[in-house]
Amino acid sequence: MPDQTVGRHSAWAFCALVAAGTAQAQAQSASPDAPVHTLRAGPRFDRMLIADPNARTSDAARLNHDLASKDGLTPPPTPGYTVTSTVLAKIAAPGDWPAPLAANYPALTGEPIDGLPGWWKIELPSIAEAIATADTLAGSPEFAHAFVNVARPIALRAPNDPGFSQQWHLLNAEAPGIDSGATHAWNAGYTGSGILIGVIEGQWQTDHPDLVQNHNAGASKLAGTPTNHATSVAGIIAASRDNGLGGVGILPDARISSLVHGTALQNAEAFAWLNDIHHIKNNSWGPIDNGTLGQITDIERDALVASTAGRNGLGTILVWAAGNGAAASDRVEYDPYASSRYAIAVGAIDDDDDKAYYSEPGASLLVVAHSSGGPGPGDRQIYTTKAGSGYTITFGGTSAAAPIISGIVGMMLQANPNMTWRDVQQALIHAARICDPSSTTWTTNGVGRRISYSYGFGAVRAMDAVAVATGWHPLPPERIASSPHLTVNAPIPDGIASGISRTLRVSGSAVIETVELTLNVTTLYVGDLTIRLRSPAGTESILALTRNDPTDHLLSRVFTSRRHNGERAEGDWVVTISDPVAGDPAFWIDARLTAYGHCPSDVNADGITDILDLLDFIDSFGPCVGARAPCAEFGPGPADYNRDEVIDILDLLDMIEDYSYGC
């Protein structure tokens, strides 16, 4: 299907959605200055902007050229449509699935719709394929009707808060889909009821009129004077709705506590505070964004680890702003908090759906969310609360992106409260969409996952995350596969870009979630060094680049990468350290690589892969094959083994392959 760029939103395909009708109506619906695509979507002809025709579902906005007034004025596009990859078809005569269709299109199968004789539901991998399939079936004599399933706008329960119209990050009327999709989740009931989020910050204004209703005083640990930054973050998460004040938070029915960062002890106490009741803790702060290596103390590191015992062993979810130092050559890896495997590092994209100029890249970046653009005219910022019981229209940075993800994670836990901290991270990866698809930063890792230093695994919309969470079956127990400690004891060639490489062999089996590389290197200028890691599957992770950083030495320094997610840990990993700047020679002492992941064929989650896992999978798979996950009869379970939301032969083949492999 050809695409057409519309305005500045180059990621949007220009598609026409056209219902069954006469040739005259088809001619009237076509635009003389742009190619159109026909999609039979109901009783009328619609032309639409579709956010992502290659997805299974996509937001869309109707183009209203056919609704021009008598004086020639065309209404602006109408948002609120959702296009799916499902085709609904009615056979022309009572009976089974038409034999000619089964013969000519053996891969095309339908599922009868209960209670509606003659109607069939056909699931396609993408909207684009649904469009083509609907056209094919509509022209077949075996079918009376065939069209793509589309949800049209309904009367949403939009907040009456006066500032809501300025909160494009919640509902973007100018470019539907370039937002968090919060309103869809609200209308499905995901508003944060029962969720507690700790805001680790400077003190935020707990008596702000738009925040006081959702403040949980008993879960807070107050100290200091309220700050604008902290109050703005709190408002993005849980400003009240329908109170006639300001705007609304992404999770307006959640409760928020105030926890204060500062010294190592204050930070550790905030990380560990009442984790039995805190679902999520948001951190819109980190080391100075100047390209130098940030430091973390052992007590803080232990407190991050301890967070995994929160929520009765499921883990308190830690969300972190990835940092705003891109212009200073800063990277997420240099922040030991945001890059921790226990944290969700969140970068920022702007109202053009591409990278915000300040957002730091990195191998440890997980996802991105919308925030301020600019600098420059026309780039929108974030509307939220501020100290002094006021509001701001100029908040932004990754500080604003992180609380949006905190809110979406709250929706996920409202949908599925049994998700562990590892489940949440993996589910976000599965829910992420490819923003800015033309960016050259997008590559593919060893198992076909799209990865980007600028975007991690992509942007997350609320209902996509909720849908993944609802059908999520828990990850098996964590499995750790490490290389032996490798003693290098060799100088790194000074002033030579090629550097020195060493191989770390990992023998243990695991499907990777996160990889940590621990290095000891002596040098008087860390900024001279570039550090790269290549997996057995050939995926590269840049962990450090040459920059202006006069820090001395790498002492048990942990660098984290998520780019190898889904790959197998076993095999040879190659670490290359180069020193392309002459002067300040460096000496590589040692290295160790640790891969954290799981064994997917451990279906019954008993820590062992054996015949019982295979039997349990077959019990779940048999009655569910051909159904969308979760299977209606069994609920979330192992039948959707590859977690692609469709239960089919690929799940069985993947399970058998992993089982034979031993993991």
For 512-563, give the DSSP string.
EEEEEEEEEEE-S-GGG-EEEEE-TT--EEEEE---S-----EEEEEEEE-T
Q: Is residue 4 part of a domain?
A: no
643 pLDDT band, cuts 50/70/90, is confident
Distances (CA, A) of 374 to 288, 358, 361, 381, 651: 21, 9, 17, 8, 45
Average pLDDT over the chain reads 87
The pair of structure tokens assigned to 581 is 């700047």
Residue the block writes with tokens 């921790």: 340
Q: Sorting pLDDT into bands at 50, 70 and 90, what band is 376?
A: low
Share of the chain above pLDDT 70, in %: 90
Range of the domain at 514: 478-598
Shared domain check, 316 and 285: yes
User: Does 172 lie in the same domain as 140?
Assistant: no
Residues shown for the chain: 663
Is position 74 within any domain?
Answer: yes
8 Å CB contact between 13 and 36: no
Could you give the CA distance from residue 162 to residue 393 in angstroms, rounded to a whole number? 13
Rounded to an integer, the average pLDDT of 134-156 is 80
**Cα end-to-end distance, the chain, whole Å:** 40
Task: Tell me which of 445, 470, 495 is where a domain ends.
Answer: 470
pLDDT tens by residue, 199-231: 999 899 999 999 999 999 999 998 889 999 999
Domain boundary among 436, 470, 504: 470
3-state secondary structure at position 581: coil
Q: Which helix (H) or strand (E) holds 75?
A: none
Q: Are residues 271 and 355 in the same domain?
A: yes
Task: Based on the fold, state whether residues 514 and 445 are members of the same structural domain.
Answer: no
For residue 335, what is the domain's CATH number? 3.40.50.200
pLDDT reported for residue 21: 29
Residues 227 and 268 in one domain: yes
CB 483 within 8 A of CB 476: no
pLDDT digits 0-9 by tens, 149-165: 888 776 555 788 999 99
Are residues 559 and 645 part of one domain?
no
Q: Residue holding tokens 């499921």?
A: 314
What pLDDT does 619 receive? 82
Give the whole-angstrom CA distance, residue 148 versus residue 556: 56
In-domain check, residue 8: no
Q: What is the three-class DSSP state of 490?
A: strand
Both 615 and 561 in one domain: the answer is no
How many domains, in total, are found in the chain? 4
Is 355 in the same domain as 211?
yes
Closest C-alpha to 560, from 533, 539, 584: 533
Same domain, 500 and 442: no
Lowest mean pLDDT among 136-150, 429-443, 624-638: 624-638
Please indicate, yes or no, whether residues 565 and 629 belong to a single structural domain of this protein: no
One domain for residues 466 and 573: no
CATH of the domain at 545: 2.60.120.260
**Residue where a domain stops, chosen among 120, 151, 182:** 151
Distance of CA 249 to the CA centre of its chain: 19
pLDDT (tens digit per residue) in 4-54: 222 222 223 323 332 222 222 232 332 233 234 456 565 556 777 888 888
Distance, in Å, from the CA atom of 46 to the CA atom of 508, rounded to the nearest integer, reads: 55
Listed range (457-461, 575-579, 612-616) with the worst mean pLDDT: 612-616
Token digits of residue 45: 């002809």
pLDDT at 32: 30
What are the structure tokens assigned to 546, written together?
Answer: 């040459």
Residue 6: per-residue pLDDT: 28
CA–CA dist 252, 351 (Å, integer):
22
Mean pLDDT over 344-367 rounds to 97
Whether residue 605 lies inside any domain: the answer is no
The verdict on residue 156 lying in a domain is: no
* Per-residue pLDDT tens digits for 559-604: 999 999 999 999 999 999 999 999 999 999 999 999 999 998 888 8
Residue in 523, 598, 514, 590 with CA at minimum distance from that of residue 559: 514
Least confident of 131-140, 164-173, 345-354, 586-595: 131-140
Residue 627's pLDDT band, with cuts at 50, 70 and 90, is: low
Is the residue at 603 inside a domain?
A: no
The residue assigned the tokens 């703005």 is 232
Short-list 157, 160, 177, CA closest to 169: 177
Give pLDDT, residue 137: 86
pLDDT at 414: 97
Q: Does some domain include residue 631?
A: yes
Tell me: the pLDDT tens digits for 152-198? 776 555 788 999 999 999 999 888 889 999 999 999 999 999 999 99
Q: Both 462 and 483 in a single domain? A: no
- Between 50 and 292, the higher pLDDT residue: 292
The CA-atom distances, in angstroms, between 273 and each of 215, 222, 256, 316 are 16, 12, 13, 10
| Candidate from 35-39, 67-71, 156-160, 273-277 with smallest mean pLDDT | 35-39
d(CA 4, CA 438): 14
Residue 221 has which token pair? 């640990």
Q: Tell me: cis bond preceding 125? Omega within 30 of 0 counts.
A: no
Distance from C-alpha of 636 to C-alpha of 640, rounded to nearest angstrom: 8
Q: Is residue 159 part of a domain?
A: no
The pLDDT of 281-304, averaged and rounded, is: 94
pLDDT confidence of residue 374: 74
